Amino acid sequence: MSAQVRHAKRSVVGSLLASMIMGSLLTASATPARAETSLETSATTNVCAPLAAQLRWHEPFFGIREWREVAQETLSYASPACRQALAAGQAEEVASALRQLEQRADANNPWLQRYVYKVSCQLRVPSLRGQILAGTTQPGVYVDCVDAVFAQGATDEESTALRERYLEGLAKEPLTTPIPPSTLQAPYVERLAPVLAAYDKAQLAKRDTLFAALCLRQTPTTPEAKAVCAGPAVREPLWAKEKLELGQISDGLSHLTTLAPDQLPQFVALLHKFDDEHRRGRDRLHRMLCQQRVLASPALLPACQTLRAEAEPRWEHEAKTKEINDELVTYHRVAYGVGKFLGLLSLLIIGHALLVNRRRAVSEAAVLELQHDAQ
């Protein structure tokens, strides 16, 4: 009986020791996991800390700037790592700050609300889908928010219906409806065949971008897409040159903003032509090539270094100075002619007066002589 008791005690002690060992092992394995999770959370918080601080800084007011400018400044604090974390549903402090800002928005002053919608739609935070959908009805931000709805690809009924309505609107009014960048990808891009046809006919900017997305990056399958893809891939450089030559500067420059960098050097000759002929729009073309697009195409740098940045004001000053000088020369010529005429007229008057006085003296002498003879 005592042997059985001793055996039972040994079993209990062995079980207790085994439990203690297993517990220590589990605790040791769980501690690094918790540490790793806390490190990941801390890293996510750190990458979005500048953005969260900027949102808190803008909470009371915008200052003297317009809400779009403040939104762009705020978005500049969102690093690629922060955007990736937000897209993965992390960095909840950013979403919380945007929700608090929306609650502070006044219905009579919608600028703060539009600011929140623009930032939310640009960041594409999944937990702010309500704000993104609400932004699709707000002026100034609806394109960004519609683009976010297409990019996120949510399958809920409201998002699906919104995408369908927008694609139908693009097909019906392609020239007046903005094109969200996310629609240039599958599965939406093939439905933009009517838009490409309208852009091709109206010679609008971004036509080549549409063509590349629809016809070059994928194989068109619908008959309408195959028909529009039968045309040339690149047409905008020729349209831009024609419009600039005709003096349609704004329309021509709109194409230059979307052209590929390797297509820009061909406009250097046109810039020199505008400079030599002192044509209107030369400075706008120079700003486009030498200020806005020169970083995209370093081949433009030699021409930009040889041509002045602002030549049209100097041309206008020279033309005005020449006009004034011509007017002065004309004035002096007229004054000289009038002076000569007045001088001749004075001589005629003096001569006429002398002649009249001579005749009067002769007649008076004759009268006196006749009176003397009569006496």
Give the 3-state secondary structure of residue 109.
Answer: strand
Q: How many domains does the chain have?
A: 3
Same domain, 142 and 181: no
The answer to whether position 78 is within a domain reads yes
Average pLDDT over residues 51-62: 73
Same domain, 50 and 129: yes
Residue ranges making up the domain that contains 205: 171-233
The answer to whether position 290 is within a domain reads yes
CA atoms within 13 A on the CB side of 246: 11
- Please name which of 228, 227, 250, 252 lies closest in space to residue 239, comparing C-alpha atoms: 252
Same domain, 73 and 101: yes
Give the pLDDT confidence of 99-138 residue by residue, as tens digits. 888 888 777 778 888 999 999 999 998 889 999 999 999 8
The answer to whether position 47 is within a domain reads yes
Cα separation, 144 vs 123, whole angstroms: 10
Give the pLDDT confidence of 270-303 residue by residue, as tens digits. 999 999 999 999 999 999 999 888 888 888 888 8
Distance of CA 96 to the CA centre of its chain: 30
Average pLDDT over residues 70-91: 89
Same domain, 61 and 94: yes
Give the DSSP per-residue string, 38-59: HHHHHHHHHHTHHHHHHHHHTS
Same domain, 85 and 110: yes
Query: If you search the block for the tokens 């317009």, which residue do you land on?
Result: 66
The answer to whether position 11 is within a domain reads no
Give the pLDDT confidence of 314-368 residue by residue, as tens digits. 988 988 999 999 999 999 999 999 999 999 999 999 988 899 888 888 888 887 8
Cα separations (Å) of 26 from 20, 21, 51, 225, 229?
A: 10, 9, 39, 61, 63
Give the pLDDT confidence of 174-186 residue by residue, as tens digits. 999 999 999 999 8
pLDDT at 236: 94
Same domain, 285 and 184: no
The answer to whether position 186 is within a domain reads yes
pLDDT at 35: 38
Same domain, 225 and 266: no
- Model-level pTM? 0.71
Would you state the structure tokens that stand for residue 163, as one six-digit string?
């995408």
Average pLDDT of the chain to the nearest whole number: 84
Task: Measure the CA angle with vertex 52, ends 139 and 91; round to 5°.
Answer: 100
Cα separation, 182 vs 304, whole angstroms: 35
Asked if pLDDT for residue 20 goes beyond 70, the answer is no
The answer to whether position 134 is within a domain reads yes
Would you state the structure tokens that stand for residue 189, as one six-digit string?
């891009």
The answer to whether position 150 is within a domain reads yes
- Adjacent-strand bridge partners of 109: 106
